[in-house]
Amino acid sequence: MKQVFIRVPTKLLLLIIGTLLLLSAGFSTVSLSRLNAEFKAYQAETLIQGQEQFKLHEKTLRENLRVWIESFADVVHLQEKNDFDDLTKEISKQFDALQLHHNVEKMWLIDSKKNILYSSSITPNYVLNSVNKTLDIQEPQHLLYCQVYCEQLLTVPLLNKQGDMVVVALAVSLVDMIYAINQSIKSEIAIVSFSKSDQAKLHEAQFLSASDIKLMRTLFVQPKKQISVEAIKAMGVQVDISSHSYLINLMSLATNNQRAYYMALIDDVTPITSEYKQYRYQFLLSAVLIFVTLAGLVYFVSSPLTHRLIVLSNALPLLARKEFDQFRRIKLKRKSFFSDELDILADATSELSYELEQLNLEVEQKTKELENIAMYDLLTGLPNRNMLNYQLRKSVANLSQFKHKIAVLFLDLDDFKKVNDSHGHGQGDRLLIEAANRVRLSIRNVDVACRFGGDEFVVVLGKIENVEEAVVVAEEILQRFKTPIKIGSSIFYVSTSIGIAFTEDKLIKAEELISYADIAMYEAKDSGGAQYHVYHSEMYQRVAHRVMLEGEVRQALAKNQFSLSLQPQLVAKTKRIYGFEALLRWQHPSRGMISPDDFIPILENSAHMIELGYWIIRRCFELAVMIKNHGLTDSRIAINLSAGQFVDQNLPNFLQGLLVEFSISASHFELELTEQTLVKNVDHTIRMMEVLKGLGFSFAIDDFGTGYSSLAYLKQMPVDVIKIDKSFIFGMLENHSDYQIIMSTIAMVKNLGLTVVAEGVETSAQLRSLMQNDCDLIQGYYFAKPIPEAELLDFIDAHIVDNHWKTKAL
Ligand code: C2E
Ligand code: CA
Ligand code: CA
């Protein structure tokens, strides 16, 4: 429904007009009816006055005449006379005087025998009737008789001495009476007749006599709507001529067979009606005046209000558009001593504007924060993973447009976990912040460095020409990390491993590129860290192979595909059995026997290797118990530990648990660590070695000579045995330098008070040479290949007697 707009002042105005109209209608009805009542009262009074005057005059006339007749009878001494002759004679003489002074028109003298003793004119029947009646009741009679005109008939009985009765009848004209009444009541008077019908109308009047006949005639034909005589008789009628107003009243006089006769009283009511008009005019005028004043008042009071309301309603949309300053620049409040609801409203809206502005600010700030949280890393302030994905996708998308290439550098801090574990997260966080700064400083403005998570960072070089540019950045980063990081009083030597993935392939996915860089980073880390590796597809193959292997190892464990082979170690001089080295075997259902060299290095750092390692250790405990029970009471089993396995915090607990479980001394075990494992984390390794040493385990350094560790370095560690790597043994007789290395190593080891083992001894010549040089222990195919565990006891029975090797001797 469409709404019609009406302004508030208009509405108020309409309300006032309505109220005023209602009031004036009510007021005028009341006053009119009061005026009407007054007018009616006036009319009734006029009528009564007329009637009274008429009766008074009529009576006076009558009484005067009666008195005159009776006095005249006395004058002629009627009561002393026996007849009426003198009376007749004398009264006839008086007829002229009566005519002149008393308006007597006609006179009759009639005796009781109906003899007309005198008559001034013919004697009509109504006179005779009246005389008869007078004779009957012997009292004076009077009656008003109208025919052509109206007259008053008076009949007075007179008696003579004899008691005979005579009646004097006098017909008196009413003309004089009319004038007399006219004079006394100031009303114009007329005698009128109407046909004797209920429908008789005013204008049908016949005038018998009138005080002002001209006025009467005009008045009687004037009313347009002709009113019946009956109605006029009841309430009169008001007739207006020119500026005058008249009230006509009809007073019934007499009736005969055909007509009714009335005395009409005409009053000039002009003063009354004009007063009435005046009153009405004044009323109207004051109503108009009040209306105009009120309208003006309404307008002046309400239009500023509505104006302010309109200003406000025009201003409010500014709030919706967040134009708060603009909104407040609009003057909503006026300077006034008194305030009103609109001022309160103005105050409220201005407060609202401040609150809305504040709210808006908060929303904007929160939105920004949210955006930052979504796009930036809170700790380092670097863009986060979300931003990285976005930027990288953008860069990849741009590849098709411009002829350039992109590179992704995946960084992982080396040994960051160590800092976190040993110095707490607070220090770790500060280290990360510094690391982030170094990364940030190493790149160009157009490049993006992001925190990928934990201690990993990713740099996107979105516009480069060749991979060398990426290498330059990687070298710059490595260079910056060479400076130690100082946090509080601590100094950290933190390096980073970097994997670089480089591409111009438009179809490559951002995630793929990151994972390639990640693979290359792993390679760098595996190669000792603090270096960069550029990704190539072989790396991917390796990773794929590793992932596959991991899955297979898990299955192999469940399916019991692993077993151990044990290779004896003999004391060189006595051929006494020193112990056995446990070597892992994997009997793959389809691929056959898989060499540990083919999967252990690949799984080096994986969780699967740790799980497998625990399986190996437990199996070694079982075998140690078995060998011991079989009679080799002081032989030991050498267990190879991978690097990942050795840093595992649970290792000491696990080993201790097994010692208790199998009730076997730790002296039956030797733990083999490679030089690589030692070098990776020297502090931790020493600590771990000391713990395990405390439990009673001894340590052997495997593959000695392949790494960089010097013996002086090894001196700090709780090492018992040094195993010279088999690669030196293989060529010791052909290659002089190998020989030199072996011999000097043996000498130095012995000098340190440690035991030395030669592994990979395949020939008697090798054995002989080693023995000449005082090598303690021998391990190699010359004596025995690793023996599958299932065959071990049989082997022992076949080859070992009283802890000594019996079959082969030098
Ligand atoms: P390793 O610890 O140096 O073990 C010695 C390796 O040399 C064994 O190979 C052994 O069979 C082989 N060998 C011994 N004598 C001779 C010889 O006279 N001539 C030749 N040509 N080879 C000889 P295997 O069993 O294939 O093990 C290879 C490597 O796998 C081991 O080298 C060791 O590093 C690792 N490995 C084996 N078993 C385990 C294990 O249980 N745990 C861990 N962590 N690593 C293991
Ligand atoms: Ca070994
Ligand atoms: Ca070895």
Co-location of 641 and 790 in the same domain: yes
Q: Which of these, 260, 276, 273, lies nearest to 201 by C-alpha position?
A: 260
Which protein residue has the closest C-alpha to ligand 1 atom 42? 640
* Cβ(514) – ligand 1 distance below 6 Å: no
Which protein residue has the closest C-alpha to ligand 1 atom 29? 597
Mean pLDDT, residues 782-810? 90
* Last-in-domain residue among 485, 501, 535: 535
Would you state the pLDDT for residue 588?
92
* Last-in-domain residue among 501, 535, 569: 535
Q: Which amino acid is at 434?
A: E
Domain count of the chain? 2
Q: Which amino acid is at 639?
A: I
* Cβ(27) – ligand 1 distance below 6 Å: no
The full DSSP string for 302-350 is HHHHHHHHHHHHHHHHHHHTT-HHHHHHS--S---SS--HHHHHHHHHH
Mean pLDDT, residues 493-504? 94
Does residue 724 have a pLDDT over 90?
yes
Assign 787 a pLDDT band (cuts: 50, 70, 90).
Answer: very high
Share of the chain above pLDDT 70, in %: 98
* Cβ(415) – ligand 1 distance below 6 Å: no
Please report, for the chain, how many H helices and E strands are present, in that order: 25, 29
Task: Count CB atoms within 10 A of the CB of residue 147.
Answer: 15
Residues near 65 by Cβ (< 8 Å), separated by ≥ 6? 102, 104, 154, 156, 170, 172
Would you state the pLDDT for residue 410?
97
Assign 315 a pLDDT band (cuts: 50, 70, 90).
Answer: confident
Higher pLDDT pick, 104 / 565 = 565
* Cβ(178) – ligand 1 distance below 6 Å: no
Co-location of 634 and 684 in the same domain: yes
Q: Determine the distance separating the centroid of ligand 3 and the alpha carbon of 538, expressed in angstroms.
A: 27
Q: Determine the distance separating the centroid of ligand 2 and the alpha carbon of 563, expressed in angstroms.
A: 16
Would you state the pLDDT for residue 225?
65
* Cβ(160) – ligand 1 distance below 6 Å: no
Does residue 192 have a pLDDT over 80?
yes
Report the DSSP beta bridge partners of residue 637.
580, 669
Per-residue pLDDT tens digits for 736-751:
999 999 999 999 999 9
Using CA atoms, how far apart are residues 34 and 275, in angstroms rounded to an integer?
Answer: 13
Q: Determine the distance separating the centroid of ligand 3 and the alpha carbon of 425, expressed in angstroms.
A: 39
Co-location of 516 and 583 in the same domain: no
Assign 809 a pLDDT band (cuts: 50, 70, 90).
Answer: low
Assign 379 a pLDDT band (cuts: 50, 70, 90).
Answer: very high
- From the CA of 672, give the closest atom in ligand 1: 2
Would you state the pLDDT for residue 783?
95
Mean pLDDT, residues 500-520? 93
Would you state the pLDDT for residue 415?
83
Whether residue 271 is contained in a domain is answered as no
Question: Which residues are found with C-beta within 5 Å of the ion, ligand 3?
Answer: 702-703
Share of the chain above pLDDT 90, in %: 40
Co-location of 605 and 669 in the same domain: yes
Mean pLDDT, residues 274-286? 81
Q: Which of these, 644, 582, 661, 589, lies nearest to 619 by C-alpha position?
A: 582
* Mean pLDDT lowest among 186-200, 403-417, 542-556: 186-200
Give the range of the structural domain holding residue 511, as residue numbers without chain letter: 385-535
Q: Determine the distance separating the centroid of ligand 2 and the alpha carbon of 700, expressed in angstroms.
A: 9
Which protein residue has the closest C-alpha to ligand 1 atom 45? 640
Assign 2 a pLDDT band (cuts: 50, 70, 90).
Answer: low
- From the CA of 609, give the closest atom in ligand 1: 44
Whether residue 106 is contained in a domain is answered as no
* Cβ(675) – ligand 1 distance below 6 Å: no
Ligand closest in space to the Cα of 640:
1
Per-residue pLDDT tens digits for 165-176:
999 999 988 777
Whether residue 718 is contained in a domain is answered as yes
* Cβ(567) – ligand 1 distance below 6 Å: yes
* Cβ(601) – ligand 1 distance below 6 Å: no
Does residue 417 have a pLDDT over 60?
yes
- From the CA of 782, give the closest atom in ligand 1: 18
Co-location of 583 and 493 in the same domain: no
Q: Of 59-63, 382-386, 527-531, 637-641, give the range with the top mean pLDDT.
A: 637-641
Tokens of 774: 């005082």
Would you state the pLDDT for residue 314?
87
Whether residue 671 is contained in a domain is answered as yes
Q: Determine the distance separating the centroid of ligand 2 and the alpha carbon of 656, expressed in angstroms.
A: 22
Using CA atoms, how far apart are residues 79 and 73, in angstroms rounded to an integer?
Answer: 8
Residues near 388 by Cβ (< 8 Å), separated by ≥ 6? 448, 450, 452, 458, 460, 514
Residues near 81 by Cβ (< 8 Å), separated by ≥ 6? 87, 160, 161
Whether residue 152 is contained in a domain is answered as no
Higher pLDDT pick, 589 / 198 = 589
Q: Determine the distance separating the centroid of ligand 1 and the alpha carbon of 358, expressed in angstroms.
A: 74
Ligand closest in space to the Cα of 566:
1
Q: Of 481-490, 500-509, 773-782, give the range with the top mean pLDDT.
A: 773-782
* Last-in-domain residue among 502, 535, 568: 535
Q: Determine the distance separating the centroid of ligand 3 and the alpha carbon of 573, expressed in angstroms.
A: 21
Residue 4: phi and psi, rounded to 5, are -90, 135
Co-location of 573 and 496 in the same domain: no
Using CA atoms, how far apart are residues 235 and 225, in angstroms rounded to an integer?
Answer: 16
Would you state the pLDDT for residue 345?
85
Co-location of 692 and 585 in the same domain: yes
Co-location of 512 and 657 in the same domain: no
Structural contact between residues 445 and 397, judged by C-beta atoms closer than 8 angstroms: no
Q: Determine the distance separating the centroid of ligand 2 and the alpha carbon of 82, expressed in angstroms.
A: 204
Does an H or E element contain 237, and which?
strand 237-241
Whether residue 303 is contained in a domain is answered as no
Ligand closest in space to the Cα of 596:
1
Q: Determine the distance separating the centroid of ligand 2 and the alpha carbon of 644, expressed in angstroms.
A: 16
Assign 760 a pLDDT band (cuts: 50, 70, 90).
Answer: very high
Q: Determine the distance separating the centroid of ligand 3 and the alpha carbon of 415, expressed in angstroms.
A: 26
Ligand closest in space to the Cα of 760:
1
* Cβ(759) – ligand 1 distance below 6 Å: yes
Co-location of 586 and 489 in the same domain: no
Using CA atoms, how far apart are residues 258 and 718, in angstroms rounded to an integer?
Answer: 169
Co-location of 681 and 795 in the same domain: yes
Higher pLDDT pick, 513 / 267 = 513
Q: What is the CATH number of the domain that holds 419?
A: 3.30.70.270
* Cβ(780) – ligand 1 distance below 6 Å: yes
Does residue 223 have a pLDDT over 70?
no
Q: Determine the distance separating the centroid of ligand 2 and the alpha carbon of 643, expressed in angstroms.
A: 13
Whether residue 443 is contained in a domain is answered as yes
Query: pTM, whole model, 2 decimals?
Result: 0.52
Does residue 445 have a pLDDT over 60?
yes
Would you state the pLDDT for residue 334?
74
Q: What is the CATH number of the domain that holds 591?
A: 3.20.20.450
Assign 709 a pLDDT band (cuts: 50, 70, 90).
Answer: low
Q: Determine the distance separating the centroid of ligand 1 and the alpha carbon of 583, expressed in angstroms.
A: 6
Co-location of 626 and 511 in the same domain: no
Using CA atoms, how far apart are residues 2 and 578, in angstroms rounded to an integer?
Answer: 109
Report the DSSP beta bridge partners of residue 636.
579
Residues near 36 by Cβ (< 8 Å), separated by ≥ 6? none
- From the CA of 641, give the closest atom in ligand 1: 44
Per-residue pLDDT tens digits for 36-87:
788 788 888 888 888 888 888 888 888 888 898 889 888 888 888 888 888 8
* Cβ(703) – ligand 1 distance below 6 Å: yes
CA angle 289, 292, 293 (to 5 degrees): 85
Please give the mean pLDDT across all residues of the chain: 88
Q: Of 7-16, 267-276, 539-548, give the range with the top mean pLDDT.
A: 539-548
Tokens of 366: 């929160």
Whether residue 776 is contained in a domain is answered as no
Specify the 3-state DSSP secondary structure of 467: helix
Would you state the pLDDT for residue 300?
84
Co-location of 403 and 494 in the same domain: yes
